[in-house]
Amino acid sequence: MNGDERKRALLHDTAVCYRFVKATAAACKLGSGFPSYSSSTQTLLKSIKDLSSATLDYLLAFPSKSPEDPVEYRRRRQSLVTIRLAWQNIHLYVQPAVDADTLNVPTELIQMLTDRVRLIQGCGSMEFAAIHTDKLNYFQFPPGEFERTVLDLASIVSAKTEWPPDLGIIALPHSQAQHLFLNGLLAHEIGHSIFLRLNCLEQIKNLIPGALDNVFRPPQDVGLDAAERGRLPGILQDWAEEIFCDLLGVHLLGPSFVLASIEFFDMANRLGGDGHIDQTAAKSDFKFSRSHPSRLFRLSRQTALLEKLGWWDVIKASNSHNIQLMNESLSLRRNSFSFEEIIAPTGDRIVDAFYQCIEGIEVEVERVTEALRDDAGHAREIPEYVALKDCVDTYLSHAVVPSTLWVKDGFKTPSSIVLLNAAHMYYLTGIEDLIKSSDKPESDDIHLRAVWMERVENWTTKGLEDISMLKKEGA
């Protein structure tokens, strides 16, 4: 191509990229009225919009800075591809963010989680924008990915574009916004944001190569090929982050988080008719995968943490098969678990190495969440939970929203975390009572049961809204 041809080609290609970016960002409209967005989602949408403006400005000036030198030209030309593919990635998140208006996200739960996170040192002004995902999975959304793309792109197109430093992104399945208790799993997603923001990996990263070196001293390392050897530190890093997020979820939400995990994975299926874990049914759940520790391992660590925090003592007597499963998970030991994607005995050694890191991960979670516990190391809300649980039960069993409770000789507003956990326990064990007091007391109808379950969630959501409003008024 001669100079003119090259210029025409560049003008054309830049315009193509310009149109693509403009169309991608067009969905981020922020008007007043419907749909309305939480302030954090507005911040997210505005940031995408700002980034698109910066990118468009960059592209407008792009052809004029084209170098004559063919090597320099080639190098500069390729940045169009990079920008385009970065926007292709951002495209994945734009519509899901637009869809997550206030009617389609669990606003009160997110506010409650945000309030809890803000108690953590270094997270005092964090906020979370919820977006939708078409995947029915709370555990696969990589929040850092989007953030990293946006930050890197911003630094390429304009030195002035900034990503809000206190904004974390969480994703929930688009169909599940109304399922209050299940959405407790968002606490895990929030964990990923905190892990990144507080640079928690820095505190635990040195444990991993050391633990691997310990278990793979020659000649035990003969089972590893170069690729496996190269990947292992990354695999253990991922496991460590997942466990960190689980444990942080327990600190943030208490038993409700663990119960949400059980419901999401339908883990009650692993409980046999004799009340013990059925080894055949649970076979897959003992296995670690490349991206996550085994489900039962995660459950056992979560439940052990509830025990440490004092929650377990106040919920263990509950007559629920989910509580029974949690109890069973406490008796699982190292030899219950395996990593079979890498053949034995190598896989087992990798789990051994991870066990050597666990304590360090738990210490890091404890360090981060110190403000959420009392001097004895227990969750601060437990005395309040003990005092108000029966009262919340009574209110729910009479179909009354439990936001202002009459206790002994006065009214009391429970904290959000106490209400959520008390109501979640009632959801497990109290539905029978609601059915018995209905006009079909003997009914085994699933539809009817589902309706009562939904009502308990709705009353609890309303209770959380009331508490939030009362808190704002009080402030």
Q: Which residues bind another protein (CB under 8 A)?
A: 71, 74-75, 78-79, 81-82, 85-86, 88-89, 140, 142, 144-145, 148-149, 152-153, 155-156, 196, 201, 205, 208-209, 212-213, 216, 218, 221, 225-227, 229-234, 236-237, 290-291, 341
* Residue with smaller CB distance to another protein, 227 or 376: 227
* Residue with smaller CB distance to another protein, 79 or 114: 79
User: CB of residue 416 vs another protein: minimum separation in angstroms?
Assistant: 32
* Residue with smaller CB distance to another protein, 222 or 475: 222
Query: Which residue has tokens 């391992």?
Result: 297
The C-alpha atoms of residue 475 and residue 473 are separated, in whole angstroms, by 5
User: CB of residue 231 vs another protein: minimum separation in angstroms?
Assistant: 4
The alpha carbon of 435 is separated from its chain's Cα centroid by a whole number of angstroms, namely 33
User: CB of residue 335 vs another protein: minimum separation in angstroms?
Assistant: 24
User: CB of residue 163 vs another protein: minimum separation in angstroms?
Assistant: 13
Query: Which residue has tokens 């030198």?
Result: 69
User: CB of residue 259 vs another protein: minimum separation in angstroms?
Assistant: 25
The alpha carbon of 19 is separated from its chain's Cα centroid by a whole number of angstroms, namely 34
* Residue with smaller CB distance to another protein, 213 or 454: 213
* Residue with smaller CB distance to another protein, 225 or 359: 225
* Residue with smaller CB distance to another protein, 108 or 241: 241
The two beta strands, 167-173 and 405-407, are: unpaired
* Residue with smaller CB distance to another protein, 210 or 441: 210
User: CB of residue 433 vs another protein: minimum separation in angstroms?
Assistant: 42
309, two tokens? 């925090």
The C-alpha atoms of residue 176 and residue 184 are separated, in whole angstroms, by 11
User: CB of residue 169 vs another protein: minimum separation in angstroms?
Assistant: 14
* Residue with smaller CB distance to another protein, 121 or 220: 220
CA angle 197, 169, 50 (to 5 degrees): 100
User: CB of residue 195 vs another protein: minimum separation in angstroms?
Assistant: 10
* Residue with smaller CB distance to another protein, 152 or 370: 152
Query: Which residue has tokens 């949400």?
Result: 260
User: CB of residue 79 vs another protein: minimum separation in angstroms?
Assistant: 6
Identify whether 35 is preceded by a cis peptide bond (ω within 30 of 0). yes
